Amino acid sequence: MFVHYVLKTFRLVLIVIVGLLFIRSFIVEPGRVNGRSMEPTYYDERIFFVNKFLLLFSEPERGQIIQFIEPTSNELFIKRIIGLPGEQVKVQQNKIFLVDTEGNETVLVEDYLPDNTVTRSATGGAEDYSVIEENEYFVVGDNRKMSHDSRHFGAVDRSLIQGVVIK
């Protein structure tokens, strides 16, 4: 009787562990903010969750905060998508401008940032970045002064995106 109880308990524990591993690998995973690059949206040491399932059926969208593998250091980062495939990002006059596939230029409206937010390029001056390739996304941190982002390492390939950060 005792052996039967142990086997049933072991089976139950094994099912729970496999289920949790499946959920964490394919559906949702916890994360922790490391740094100040996403302030005021996310502060250092804040816990968040990453929805990995959502991007299995849809493409990333402008304004979404994503978790991705930073291409030069292989570290996990969270940043906001601002540029989509086929667009060009320009930093001028302390703002971000987007040029669409037809050449129309518009200023990026960023209601999620404080009114006095200043955006500069990695070099500090005006800069026109390359047209974003297919399956790539231009990402920046909300704390523009403290963020290491696409202004430094370029657009992020879709294959490096882990999921969408859930508030």
Q: Is 37 a catalytic residue?
A: yes
Phi, psi (degrees; rounded to nearest 5) at 71: -65, -25
In the set 52, 79, 90, 150, the catalytic residue is 79
Measure CA of the first residue to CA of the last residue in the chain; give whole Å: 48
In the set 8, 25, 37, 90, the catalytic residue is 37
41 Cβ contact list (under 8 Å, min separation 6): 65, 80, 112, 142
The CA-atom distances, in angstroms, between 100 and each of 43, 66, 80, 122 are 32, 22, 18, 22
Q: Which helix (H) or strand (E) holds 2?
A: helix 2-26
> Is the four-CA dihedral 35, 36, 39, 45 of positive or negative sign?
positive
> Is the four-CA dihedral 67, 118, 113, 128 of positive or negative sign?
negative
Q: Is 58 a catalytic residue?
A: no
Give catalytic residues, as residue numbers. 37, 79
